[in-house]
Amino acid sequence: MGFGNIGWFQILVVLLIVLLIFGTKRIRNLGSDVGGAIREFRKSVSEDDSEEKTEDAETAADTTDSTDSDTPRKPDSSDSSGH
């Protein structure tokens, strides 16, 4: 099972060369940085989704409030209008 014309042995050789050039510390740091970037990306996407849901709920509430304010109010019997 390979990737096109590249076999597992060729991939292993390339990874070994990368390990020799960069060393384990740099590769570990690179992996940590990539993981942190992915974590931040997921966090920002989930925050954007929650903000959109909040905005949709506020818009729905504003629509409900505006229809309530358009209806005329009946005066309460407790109004002290003097009549």
pLDDT of residue 81: 56
Low-confidence ranges of the chain (pLDDT < 50): none
Q: 69 to each of 66, 72, 77, how far by Cα in Å?
A: 5, 7, 20
pLDDT of residue 47: 84
Rg (CA), the chain: 31
pLDDT of residue 72: 59
Return the DSSP state at 75. Answer: P
Q: Which range marks the domain in which residue 38 is found?
A: 25-59
Whether residue 39 is contained in a domain is answered as yes
Whether residue 47 is contained in a domain is answered as yes
The model scores a pTM over 0.85: no
Measure the CA–CA gap between 81 and 72, rounded to whole angstroms. 18
pLDDT of residue 71: 58
Task: Name the domain count of the chain.
Answer: 1
Whether residue 51 is contained in a domain is answered as yes
pLDDT of residue 59: 75
pLDDT of residue 43: 92
